[in-house]
């Protein structure tokens, strides 16, 4: 029998163990090839102005990083699982070099098959991925996707590099292990010792305390030490998670066994005991999976929340469809040309003059925000009556009070205690105004918006009478707000607006074009984040599945003994299911908790409520994770049934 015959027989024998790994590897190849295709496709790059090409290049690097770690880690599990088989090859006379060649050939054939299948599937589904991307970013029309030889070459090169890396890993593993070590590899386990009472209790509570401190600090990061607060939250959460798995849970397990005086019963013997014997070795992997799951969940929830809230966020920043008046006589001519064209094309619109008083001022109280922003401010005073005439739904402030609007600092100001006092002043006069509410968004479009104070119409005229005279007349700005009545005509109106401004040097800000631009960015983000998150989820789920598969084979003799003693499959599976609830449920639960507090800490980036989109993203993630748990329980059931 030749070496190649041994390779074929070995692959046939182990195919049932490889299928999920093979699927995950194929999926990684497909996604990398699609990213590479979209990165190199000239029509996509041209349509996006080059931004998508750069984004897919970065996404490809991240995907390669995830896939590389997954393949190397899974390969190490397979090597340990097949240690007895490798030992038998050496026992029948094969040299270590021959065994290494056998494993390398097998790995190369398997990986090359996944590479070929992945590229083939990628060529077939690239168009589907492109259509999904175009839907997410809001591109209309037809884009021809061409076959890219550069994408094929790039995919082959990077995955050949991964094959070489795993081949080196196999070579080192075979050369470093002894024959006796190979036969005893599957028997290696931990013998849990009685933990030192004070030390274990202290470290157990410290782990919980560090996680609690990270959660507490995540809600109090908004101060000048933001960067250090982020590092402290990250460090305390990761260290606390490691201590939780390494010490806290082990200590709790020992207390349970101590309470039961060592008489665990069938269910605990099949769930608690195996976990205790492997907790030390699994602490690192469970910590990494939990922390990375939390980061992935945060990324997915954040990306989906940005996409979900795009329209509302853009409208908060640009409350009017179009705004003129900030560029003097030049703007008047553009405004007339624009409205004349709207009339000519029978596009209905609401035209509203808005008068704004521009005054200097300062915060009279020192707060967290003033430490960031300084005490001085430039305020635009606006009457609520004019805003309502322009179609902006604003509350009417009480007399002598104002509502604070500024989209650029709302993330910071929304946590301020109200009311607070601001002082408005010129060289001759000053006035204290009470800010009774901090509201989200702007009431004036960018780039004209700064800090805006919306006041009662009667109070507005009092302020104007106090501060404005002939010398101070320059403080009055007259804007013209244009709002398109029929929202289906916004795209046409925006096109007219940009056609007029094509040859000018004026900043071209309008609601619809900014909405489309933001939709393209967030759509691209959720496309990339969604598929990278899916690859990561499949990779981590597969790793947990592979580890449980290995443990199931190691415990097969115990299941056979239990069957001989009269226990049926249902009795044994009750304990095994409890074990899987821990293995899959605890990392998922802690990862969800970490991500909830991470999203809460990052909520300052959003003006709208992100609870619903974040919950949807987490729910989908948990359901997919549940699928791997069900697969694992199914594998255990087959193992128990065949153990008699």
> H/E/C letters for each residue in 409-475?
CHHHHCCCCCCEEEEEECCCCEEEEEEEEEECCCCCCCCCCCEEEEECHHHHHHHHHHHCCCCCHHH
For the chain, which ranges sit under pLDDT 70? Answer: 1, 3-4, 14-20, 44-53, 139-145, 176-197, 222-224, 261-264, 276-281, 326-330, 368-369, 502-508, 603-610, 644
* Residue closest to 82 by CA, chosen among 148, 156, 174: 174
Reading the block at residue 335, the tokens are 């405004």
* Residue whose pair of structure tokens reads 């004026």 in the numeric block: 506
Distance CA 23, CA 477 (A): 63
**Which region holds residue 293: left if phi is over 0, alpha if psi is between -120 and 50, else beta?**
alpha
Q: Which residues of 512-546 are buried (b: 16+ CB within 10 A; e: fewer)?
A: bbbbbebbbbbbbbbbbbbbbbbbbbbbbbbbbbb
Strands (E), 217-321: none
* Cα 430 to chain centroid, rounded: 48
Total number of residues shown for the chain: 644
3-state secondary structure of 360: strand
CA angle 539, 541, 545 (to 5 degrees): 115
Q: Strand pairing partners for 401?
A: 434
Distance CA 596, CA 415 (A): 19
pTM for the full model?
0.74
* Residue closest to 521 by CA, chosen among 330, 350, 310, 333: 310
The DSSP symbol for 144 reads: P
Reading the block at residue 322, the tokens are 């179009």
* Residue closest to 497 by CA, chosen among 311, 328, 334, 315: 334
The confidence score (pLDDT) of residue 606 equals 62
3-state secondary structure of 629: helix
* Residue closest to 431 by CA, chosen among 396, 472, 400: 400
Distance CA 263, CA 321 (A): 73
Q: Specify whether the CB–CB gap between 477 and 355 falls below 8 A.
A: yes
Distance CA 262, CA 257 (A): 5
CA angle 90, 91, 96 (to 5 degrees): 15
The confidence score (pLDDT) of residue 605 equals 63
Question: 345 — phi, psi (to 5°)?
Answer: -90, 10
* Residue closest to 603 by CA, chosen among 449, 447, 468, 440: 440
452: how many CB neighbours lie within 10 A of its CB?
Answer: 23
Question: 424 — phi, psi (to 5°)?
Answer: -100, 140
The DSSP symbol for 502 reads: T
**Which region holds residue 93: left if phi is over 0, alpha if psi is between -120 and 50, else beta?**
left
Strands (E), 364-417: 376-383, 401-405
Q: How large is the C-alpha radius of gyration of the chain?
A: 32
3-state secondary structure of 248: helix
The confidence score (pLDDT) of residue 190 equals 47
* Residue whose pair of structure tokens reads 């069938």 in the numeric block: 266
Q: Which residues of 472-486 are buried (b: 16+ CB within 10 A; e: fewer)?
A: beebeeebbbbbbee
305: how many CB neighbours lie within 10 A of its CB?
Answer: 27
* Residue closest to 362 by CA, chosen among 354, 351, 353, 370: 370
Q: Specify whether the CB–CB gap between 485 and 493 falls below 8 A.
A: no
């Amino acid at each position: 029998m030749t070496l190649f015959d041994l390779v074929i027989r070995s692959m046939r024998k182990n195919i049932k163990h490889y299928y999920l790994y093979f699927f995950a590897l194929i999926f990684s190849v497909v996604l990398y090839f699609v990213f590479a295709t979209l990165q190199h496709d000239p029509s996509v790059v041209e349509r996006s102005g080059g931004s998508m090409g750069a984004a897919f290049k970065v996404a490809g690097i991240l995907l390669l990083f995830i896939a590389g770690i997954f393949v190397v880690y899974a390969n190490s599990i397979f090597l340990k699982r097949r240690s007895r088989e490798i030992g038998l090859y050496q026992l029948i006379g094969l040299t270590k070099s021959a065994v290494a060649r056998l494993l390398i050939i097998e790995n190369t054939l398997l990986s090359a098959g996944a590479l070929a299948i992945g590229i083939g599937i990628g060529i077939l589904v690239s168009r589907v991925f492109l259509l999904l991307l175009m839907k997410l970013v809001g591109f209309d029309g037809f884009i021809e996707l061409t076959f890219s030889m550069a994408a094929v070459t790039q995919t082959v090169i990077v995955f050949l590099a991964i094959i070489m890396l795993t081949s080196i890993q196999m070579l080192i593993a075979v050369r470093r292990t002894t024959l006796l070590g190979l036969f005893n590899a599957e028997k290696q386990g931990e013998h849990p010792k009685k933990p030192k009472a004070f030390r274990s209790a202290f470290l157990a509570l410290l782990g919980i305390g560090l996680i609690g401190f990270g959660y507490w600090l995540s809600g109090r990061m908004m101060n000048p030490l933001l960067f250090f607060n982020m590092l402290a939250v990250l460090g305390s959460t990761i260290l606390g998670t490691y201590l939780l798995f390494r010490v806290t849970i082990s200590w709790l397990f020992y207390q349970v066994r101590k309470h039961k005086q060592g008489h665990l019963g069938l269910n605990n013997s099949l769930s608690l005991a195996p976990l205790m014997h492997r907790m030390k070795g699994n602490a690192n992997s469970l910590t990494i999976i939990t922390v990375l799951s939390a980061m992935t969940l945060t990324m997915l929830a954040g990306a989906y929340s940005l996409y979900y809230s795009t329209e509302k966020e853009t409208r908060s920043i640009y409350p009017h469809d179009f705004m003129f008046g900030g560029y003097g006589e030049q703007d008047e001519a553009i405004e007339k040309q624009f409205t004349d064209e709207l009339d000519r094309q029978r596009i209905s619109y609401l035209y509203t003059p808005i008068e704004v008083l521009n005054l200097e001022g300062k915060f009279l109280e020192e707060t967290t925000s003033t430490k960031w922003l300084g005490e001085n401010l430039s305020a635009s005073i606006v009457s609520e009556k004019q805003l309502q005439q322009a179609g902006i739904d604003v509350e009417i402030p009480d007399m002598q009070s104002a509502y604070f609007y500024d989209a650029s600092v709302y993330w910071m100001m929304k946590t301020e205690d109200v009311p607070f006092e601001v002082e408005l002043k010129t060289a001759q006069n000053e006035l204290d105004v009470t800010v009774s509410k901090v509201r989200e968004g702007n009431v004036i479009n960018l780039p004209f918006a700064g800090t805006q104070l919306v006041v009662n119409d009667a109070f507005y005229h009092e302020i104007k009478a106090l501060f404005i005279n002939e010398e101070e007349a320059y403080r009055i700005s007259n804007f013209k707000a244009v709002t398109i009545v029929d929202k289906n005509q916004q795209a046409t109106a925006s096109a007219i607006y940009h056609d007029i401004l094509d040859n000018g040097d004026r900043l071209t800000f309008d609601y619809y074009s900014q909405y489309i631009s933001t939709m393209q960015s967030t759509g691209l983000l959720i496309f990339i984040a969604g598929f990278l998150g899916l690859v990561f989820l499949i990779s981590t789920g597969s790793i947990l599945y592979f580890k449980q598969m290995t443990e199931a084979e190691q415990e097969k003799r115990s299941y056979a003994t239990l069957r001989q003693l009269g226990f049926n499959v249902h009795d044994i599976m009750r304990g095994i299911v409890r074990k899987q609830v821990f293995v899959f449920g605890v990392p998922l639960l802690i990862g969800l908790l970490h991500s909830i507090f991470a999203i809460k800490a990052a909520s300052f980036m959003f003006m709208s409520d992100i609870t619903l989109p974040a919950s949807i993203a987490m729910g989908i993630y948990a359901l997919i994770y549940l699928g791997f748990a069900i697969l694992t329980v199914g594998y255990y059931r087959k193992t128990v049934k065949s153990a008699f």
